[in-house]
């Protein structure tokens, strides 16, 4: 069986296999590019299945409908057909848009979401890089997306987009701090920001039930933090009940109202990559990363991020949207206080036990 967490990141293994080590920095860059291409392909493959197909199928089962089923087995051919259809739409640039920002916004959103996957350990040694400040890095990169949203909202020169952009900022500001504070309460246990260390800290056995060893996953050690993080993550990726930046029944489509053709595809793609990035952070911090019995790590990792995706779609079908004033109240008066309490309590309990 392959080791769950190999000591060498993927680029080093590739450069070892191809003998790129002798070329110095260009060799490292080439190995890094190959590893990145592999990880990006994995992420985009998940997104391609999730966006045009799984999302519709899940919503359809919740609302007792059939959904896409015409092309290919289970309608899976829809993925190809839809991507070709969307890419070949006419690109309409509205009047009075702020041109460079309008074009850059979809790029910022899609690229930043993909960049966050650099430090995520996906099992079987698939990890592009493992810097010491991995967790700080992933939080920093994940919040670049709000910059893309506000660029889109402001540059569109549309009142709906503008409101959507403002709402996106207010929401991300309100939920960023609970997210990070809950995230660092895990660091108190792990004692490191390095992603591989955080995963390794969860491998120890917490207790045994009928001969089955329950691992020390932080979701089991601190379920309160896990719940807080799940909610804050829903708000961070802008899904129900916190999808007020898009709010189709209130402000058309929010910040993406004026986007068509490939720009719309990039927004859609960026959002789904962001959901999976959120799932990957949850899996790494709270669900033992790629750990799991029998199956290889990458399969467990995929299962975990899809579980988080399923949760977002479940909420989409089942939970009503909150209003902007309720959102601010929940964020600043509820989540922030709870996450501070969680941090202090975790620190106190760890301090007393240690």
Binding to another protein (CB under 8 A): which residues in 235-254? 252
Contact status, residue 343 vs residue 184, Cβ threshold 8 Å: yes
Among 4, 5, 6, 15, binds another protein (CB under 8 A): 15
Non-local CB neighbours of 180 within 8 Å, separated by 6+ positions = 139
Angle between helices 261-286 and 134-142 (to 10 degrees): 150
Q: Please report, as residue ranges, which positions from 161 to 190 form the binding site for another protein (by CB under 8 A).
A: 161-163, 166, 169-170, 173-174, 176-177, 180-181, 184-185, 187-188
Contact status, residue 219 vs residue 256, Cβ threshold 8 Å: no
192 binds another protein (CB under 8 A): yes
- Minimum CB–partner distance for residue 231 and another protein (Å): 17
Identity of the residue, 65 or 333, whose beta carbon is nearer to another protein in the bound complex: 333
31 binds another protein (CB under 8 A): yes
Q: Please report, as residue ranges, which positions from 207 to 226 form the binding site for another protein (by CB under 8 A).
A: none
Alpha-carbon span 28 to 271, nearest angstrom: 31
Alpha-carbon span 202 to 48, nearest angstrom: 31
What is the total residue count of the chain? 354
- Minimum CB–partner distance for residue 57 and another protein (Å): 24
* Interface region with another protein, contact rule CB under 8 A, candidates 11-19, 61-69, 206-214, 298-306: 11-19
Binding mask 114-153 for another protein (x = CB under 8 A): xx-xxx--------xxxx----xx----------------
- Minimum CB–partner distance for residue 242 and another protein (Å): 15
Q: Please report, as residue ranges, which positions from 286 to 315 form the binding site for another protein (by CB under 8 A).
A: none
Identity of the residue, 278 or 292, whose beta carbon is nearer to another protein in the bound complex: 278
121 cis-preceded (ω within 30 degrees of 0): no
Query: Structure tokens of 176?
Result: 């960023």
* Interface region with another protein, contact rule CB under 8 A, candidates 205-213, 225-233, 303-311, 330-338: 330-338
Q: Please report, as residue ranges, which positions from 48 to 87 form the binding site for another protein (by CB under 8 A).
A: 84, 87
Non-local CB neighbours of 39 within 8 Å, separated by 6+ positions = 10, 117, 118, 122, 126, 128
Q: Please report, as residue ranges, which positions from 252 to 271 form the binding site for another protein (by CB under 8 A).
A: 252, 257-258, 261-262, 265-266, 269
Q: Residue 156 — φ and ψ, nearest 5°?
A: -70, -20
Non-local CB neighbours of 29 within 8 Å, separated by 6+ positions = none
Single out the residue of 112, 134, 89, 68 nearest to residue 289, CA to CA: 134
Identity of the residue, 124 or 185, whose beta carbon is nearer to another protein in the bound complex: 185
Identity of the residue, 161 or 313, whose beta carbon is nearer to another protein in the bound complex: 161
101 binds another protein (CB under 8 A): no
Query: Structure tokens of 327?
Result: 């959102």
11 binds another protein (CB under 8 A): yes
Chain centroid, CA 117 distance in Å: 9
- Taking the alpha carbons of 249, 255, 260, 262 in that order, is the dihedral positive or negative? negative
36 binds another protein (CB under 8 A): yes
- Minimum CB–partner distance for residue 265 and another protein (Å): 7
User: Nearest 5°: CA angle at 333, between 328 and 336?
Assistant: 100
- Minimum CB–partner distance for residue 4 and another protein (Å): 19
40 binds another protein (CB under 8 A): yes
């Amino acid at each position: 069986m392959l080791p769950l967490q190999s000591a060498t990141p993927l680029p080093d293994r590739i450069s070892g296999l191809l003998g790129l080590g002798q070329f110095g920095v260009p060799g490292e860059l080439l190995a890094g590019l190959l590893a990145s291409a592999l990880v990006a392909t994995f992420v985009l493959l998940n997104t391609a299945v999730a966006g045009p197909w799984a999302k519709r199928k899940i919503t359809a089962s919740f609302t007792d409908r059939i959904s896409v089923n015409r092309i290919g087995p289970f309608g899976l051919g829809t993925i190809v057909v839809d991507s070709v259809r969307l890419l070949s739409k006419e690109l309409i640039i509205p009047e009075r848009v702020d041109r460079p920002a309008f074009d850059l916004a979809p790029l910022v959103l899609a690229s930043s979401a993909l960049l966050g996957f650099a430090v995520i350990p996906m099992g079987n040694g698939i990890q592009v890089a493992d810097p010491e400040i991995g967790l700080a890095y992933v939080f920093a990169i994940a919040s670049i997306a709000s910059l893309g949203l506000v660029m889109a909202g402001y540059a569109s020169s549309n009142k709906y987009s503008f409101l959507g952009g403002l709402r996106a900022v207010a929401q991300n500001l309100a939920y960023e701090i609970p997210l990070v504070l809950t995230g660092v309460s895990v660091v108190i246990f792990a004692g490191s920001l390095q992603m591989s260390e955080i995963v390794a800290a969860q491998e120890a056995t917490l207790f045994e039930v009928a001969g089955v060893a329950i691992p020390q996953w932080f979701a089991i050690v601190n379920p309160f933090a896990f719940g807080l993080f799940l909610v804050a993550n829903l708000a961070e990726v802008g899904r129900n009940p916190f999808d007020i930046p898009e709010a189709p029944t209130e402000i058309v489509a929010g910040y993406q109202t004026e986007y068509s053709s490939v720009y719309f595809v990039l927004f859609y793609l960026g959002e789904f990559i962001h959901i999976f990035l959120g799932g990957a952070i949850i899996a790494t911090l709270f669900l033992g990363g790629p750990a799991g019995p029998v199956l290889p790590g990458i399969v467990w990792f995929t299962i975990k991020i899809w579980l988080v995706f399923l949760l977002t779609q479940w909420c989409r079908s089942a939970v009503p949207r909150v209003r902007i004033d309720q959102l601010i109240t929940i964020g600043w008066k509820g989540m922030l206080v709870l996450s501070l309490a969680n941090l202090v309590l975790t620190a106190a309990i760890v301090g007393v036990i240690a």
